[in-house]
Amino acid sequence: MQDKPVDKDDILKELSELHELDYNYSDGRILGSMCTEAHPFAKEVYCKFLDTNLGDPGLFKGTKRIEDEVIQSIGEILSLDVAYGNIVTGGTEANLMAIRAARNHARKYKGIVDGEIIIPESAHFSFKKAADMLNLKIVEAELDENYKIDVDSLKKVISDKTVAIVAIAGTTELGLIDPIEEISKIAFDNNIYFHVDAAFGGFSIPFLKQRGYDLPTFDFSLPGVCSVTVDPHKMGLAPIPAGGIIFRKEEYLEVMAVDSPYLTVKTQSTIVGTRLGASSAATYAIMNYFGKEGYADLAQDLMKNTQYLYDGLLEIGYDVICKPELNILAFNHPDIETNEFAEKLEKLGWKVSVAKCPVSIRVVLMNHIKKTHIKELLEDLKDLF
């Protein structure tokens, strides 16, 4: 910071120069991001609510009502009549809240002190952060040959210390949906908290199902499901930061509540104190502007693009890891080692992402990747043979 004030134009010039170093979604070259450019209308609304603070909801009663309505609307998409939860900064915070609720619930009602959470090998690394912060041990359930939770392996690791089981609806690396119906039954029968991480899939699976896609049930219609993460800033086209955590019962928020003496409310259950009302308002705006039909169109278009890339890859001889369930594809060149393959693509200007399990190039076909970009990618991939 300078001692004396700097002219606005100079500041803006400097910021623009730095901003120029960023990649743009609109170039269609960012292949591995689960976020995309937010819808212009959502951005417009976001700016109008920049000063609202949901950490002190008594001062922002209207914006709090907007958050409640967004939670209710997302709950409805997930087959829940009355939903509880919050719009938070993203999937990481949503997962952290879910695991905190599970831990506190198990501590209060079952007396579990040194708890464990069961997560699949495919789980997002946010659960490692949650376990670390909440002093929980991670127990991994193995994946089957289709890269989904192996239910027998999961059953074997349940113990009297298990405070939560986690399954994924739209895995980060492959976009796959775990056998959530089966796991819900196991969790329900064993009276264990069950969290579904649908950070990525939550804004597409329900709409794709409406359009006739044969995808498994993952939501609150399954009695074992206690909470679901769904991120508006991924497939919901809301501006960053916007994650969503939805709970089946209010008691999951209550077990996390701490006294908040100087505020307009007596207790607070969120992790973050001062928090953006703008995220809720922008999510409200885009959800209503799109409607279920708009999201169904979007999800279906992205699935068509995914299929187009899938067919193209097979045609030119690439090894595709699995048939896509959502708009994520992972593949390898038959003769080039994956990291070397990634470097070649980077040199051609593609911003790629390498998956760990299995090691492969991973493309998330978000809204910024248009058919023309896929054609260009396929041309470049053809030339690598």
Ligand X SMILES: Cc1ncc(COP(=O)(O)O)c(C=O)c1O
Binding site for ligand X (CB under 6 A): 34, 90-92, 95, 124, 126, 168, 172, 197, 199-200, 231, 243
Decide if 101 contacts 227 (C-beta within 8 A).
yes
Nearer to ligand X, 197 or 219 (CB): 197
| Least gap, CB of 200 to ligand X (angstroms) | 5
Distance CA 298, CA 304 (A): 10
Nearer to ligand X, 234 or 333 (CB): 234
| Least gap, CB of 93 to ligand X (angstroms) | 7
| Least gap, CB of 252 to ligand X (angstroms) | 18
| Least gap, CB of 9 to ligand X (angstroms) | 34
Nearer to ligand X, 116 or 197 (CB): 197
Return phi, psi of residue 133, to 5°: -70, -30
User: Which amino acid, residue 384?
Assistant: L
- What would the DSSP string read from start to end of 280-302? HHHHHHHHHHHHHHHHHHHHHHH
Decide if 78 contacts 219 (C-beta within 8 A).
yes
Q: CA Rg, the chain, in Å?
A: 22
Burial label for 352, CB within 10 Å (0-12, 13-18, 19+), is: buried
Give the tokens for residue 102.
């599970």
Nearer to ligand X, 179 or 243 (CB): 243
Decide if 234 contacts 200 (C-beta within 8 A).
yes
Half-sphere exposure of 121 (CA within 13 A, CB side): 17
| Least gap, CB of 378 to ligand X (angstroms) | 25
| Least gap, CB of 77 to ligand X (angstroms) | 17
Nearer to ligand X, 90 or 224 (CB): 90
Nearer to ligand X, 43 or 129 (CB): 129
